[in-house]
Each structure stands twice: as C-alpha cells, then as structure tokens.
C-alpha cells in the first residue's frame, strides 16, 4: 500500500452504488478505513431482501450486507461465514440470508438503521463507513410511455429504457451521507447496474446537490467489465451519462474505462483507460487494478491542482 500516495492524501473518499459493484470498490479501498465511505442503495425488492421488506416495511438490507461481506473477505471468520449463510430446505426460511435477518433484528433493536449497520461493522471488524442512502423505505419507480412502473425487479426486466426514474415516496437521504459527500476529495460512481445500483442515491435532490456543490471533489465513473443484461446495457456509456445528467444534474469528471474495450465516443469528460479485469474471476474488477487505477487518477488530479 506504500505506493498509493495519492489515495492516502485524500481526506475522504465516497463511493456510491449498490450490489456487487460497490462491494468491489469498497473492498479495493478498504485499507482507507474510516476515510472511505460507501453510500449504499436501499431500494432492492428482490429475493430475501424483497421478502423482508414486504413483511416488515424495512429498508433493503441486501446491498449493505454484500458490501460488509466483501470488506471482510480477506479475513474470514465464523461471524462472516454465519453472516453470509443462506437457508435451504427450511420452510418459510428457505432462501433467506442469515445476514439480512441479523440486520433486520438489529434494526428493530436500534433507534436507527445506521446504528444497526455500525454495530455489525464492529462485529465484523470493518473500518470503512457504510451508510444507507436513506433510512426511509422507498421503491424505485419509472415512467415509460406515460405509465408508472414500480419496483426494481420489474424495471430491470424492461425491454425499453424508461423515460424517467424516481423514488416513491420522495425520501430524504441520511444526513451522514450528505456530510461525507460535502467532505469528499473523490466521489466514485459505479460500477454496477446503472438504473438500480448507481442512480437511486442520485435521485435524491440533497445527494445530487451535495455532489454538484463540491466542485473540488473529483467525480469518477467506473465502467463495467461485463455489459449489463438490462435494457441500458445495450446503450453506449455516453448516452447513459447524458441520461444521468438530465435526471440528476450529476456528470463525472473522469470516466475510468476498462483497457480491454474500445474507447467510448461522445463522452463529455476525460477518459482514462486502464487494466481493470480480474484474471482469476471472469467478469469482475480486480481489486488491485482498481486501487492502482484510482490512485493514478487521484495523482493526476492533485498534480493539476498544484499546477
């Protein structure tokens, strides 16, 4: 880690997203400890998470659990193994993830969902901050041809890109999420599902405003290794970024693009093409390569500021 001088100079790095993509970024930069914060999407309505939401009206815990597990993947212990256990042949428990159940139980015992997350962070010995994008339950919704479609699972299965995305109800972000963005030297968006992992947090006006009102923070969008299977996966990255700008006002300063692909056209920001693929896990970002790439980008940013 001694060579990562630029990242160490950052007072605060914020990664925004959900699912496996955000978990990969958090695991890559986990050495930053509390100087790293992940703002995690909480609108998932599928699988074990969706069932718990339907039964209890809680926020979606699945992406938070995934990030926690990836952050402690290098130090497996009994707590982590139990946290990731999924029930089989257990009646109504079948398909449920024990980590989701633990987080729901902790939430019901605590004043705030964030308190529950912080207690589990301590249990799993995770230094990096993980912040739910909101502590209010909400669902992702889309407008398509004048009709409202509600639910991430349904939106992911659309064969036509929606005209617009929104959150129902119009929730507020956690104050901690806004604060870390205001203090950030680098804000990382992606990789992951564009509509259901990256955009939900940005759809909250206070989050988008905090990003846009921090001009000194370098905004980096990380491209996917594997194209999405959703309708937006068929679109060029330039179109996706323009759509994000139109809905949220947010646009990156730098696009970190896998060296394995042709450079994209029509992108209205700097492009840095660097090796990102994991040679041992097909379709995944290498944690080491992502660390080096983000450090390289941070170093260039610092040099530009000095000059």
C-alpha 237/C-alpha 243 separation (Å) is 10
Before 169, cis peptide (omega within 30)?
A: yes
Question: Per-residue b/e over 122-137, b at no fewer than 16 CB within 10 Å?
Answer: eebebebbbbbbbbbb
The per-residue pLDDT for range 192-245, each reduced to its tens digit, is: 999 999 999 999 999 999 999 999 999 999 999 998 989 998 899 999 999 999
How far is C-alpha 26 from the geometric centre of its chain's CA atoms? 9
Sheet order of strands, 139-144 included:
147-150, 139-144, 164-168
The per-residue pLDDT for range 26-62, each reduced to its tens digit, is: 999 999 999 999 999 999 998 988 899 999 999 999 9
**pLDDT score recorded for residue 260:** 86
Angle formed by the axes of helices 98-109 and 62-71, to 10°?
Answer: 110
**pLDDT score recorded for residue 207:** 98
The per-residue pLDDT for range 67-80, each reduced to its tens digit, is: 998 998 777 677 77
**What is the Cα gyration radius of the chain?**
18
Helices (H), strands (E): how many in the chain? 13, 10
> What is the residue-averaged pLDDT of the chain?
92
**pLDDT score recorded for residue 187:** 98
**pLDDT score recorded for residue 282:** 84
C-alpha 23/C-alpha 129 separation (Å) is 12
The per-residue pLDDT for range 98-140, each reduced to its tens digit, is: 989 999 999 999 989 999 999 999 988 899 999 999 999 999 9
Q: Which of 205, 270, 267 is nearest to 241 (CA)?
A: 267
CB 297 within 8 A of CB 7: no
Pair of tokens at residue 161: 């890109």
**pLDDT score recorded for residue 1:** 47
For residue 86, count other CB atoms closer than 10 A to its CB: 15
Asked if the model's pLDDT at residue 2 lies above 90, the reply is no
Q: Phi/psi zone of residue 285: left (φ > 0), alpha (ψ -120 to 50 degrees), beta?
A: beta
Q: Which of 117, 141, 264 is nearest to 199 (CA)?
A: 141
255's enclosing H/E stretch is: strand 254-258
């Amino acid at each position: 880690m001694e060579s990562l001088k630029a990242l160490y100079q950052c007072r605060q790095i914020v990664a925004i997203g959900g699912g496996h993509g955000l978990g990969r970024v958090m695991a890559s930069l986990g050495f930053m400890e509390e100087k790293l914060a992940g703002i995690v999407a909480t609108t998932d309505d599928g699988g074990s998470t969706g069932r718990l939401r339907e039964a209890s009206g809680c926020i979606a815990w699945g992406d938070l659990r995934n990030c926690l597990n990836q952050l402690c993947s290098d130090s497996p212990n009994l707590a982590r193994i139990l946290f990731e256990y999924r029930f089989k042949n257990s009646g109504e428990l079948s398909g449920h993830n024990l980590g989701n159940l633990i987080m729901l139980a902790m939430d019901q015992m605590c004043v705030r969902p964030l308190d529950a997350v912080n207690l589990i962070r301590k249990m799993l010995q995770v230094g990096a901050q993980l912040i739910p994008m909101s502590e209010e339950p909400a669902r992702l919704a889309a407008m398509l041809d004048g009709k409202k479609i509600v639910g991430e699972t349904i939106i992911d299965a659309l064969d036509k890109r929606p005209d617009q995305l929104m959150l129902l109800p119009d929730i507020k972000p956690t104050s901690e999420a806004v604060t870390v963005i205001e203090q950030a030297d680098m804000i990382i968006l992606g990789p992951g599902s564009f509509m259901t992992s990256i955009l939900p947090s940005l759809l909250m006006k206070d989050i988008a405003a905090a990003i846009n009102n921090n001009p000194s923070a370098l905004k980096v969008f990380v491209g996917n290794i594997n194209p999405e299977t959703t309708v937006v996966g068929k679109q060029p990255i330039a179109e996706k970024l323009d759509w994000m700008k139109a809905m949220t006002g947010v646009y990156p300063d730098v696009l970190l693009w896998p060296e394995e692909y042709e450079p994209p056209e029509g992108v209205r920001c700097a492009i840095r093409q660097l090796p990102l693929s994991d040679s041992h896990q097909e379709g995944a970002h290498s944690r080491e390569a992502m660390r080096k790439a983000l450090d390289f980008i941070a170093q260039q940013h610092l040099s530009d500021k000095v000059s």
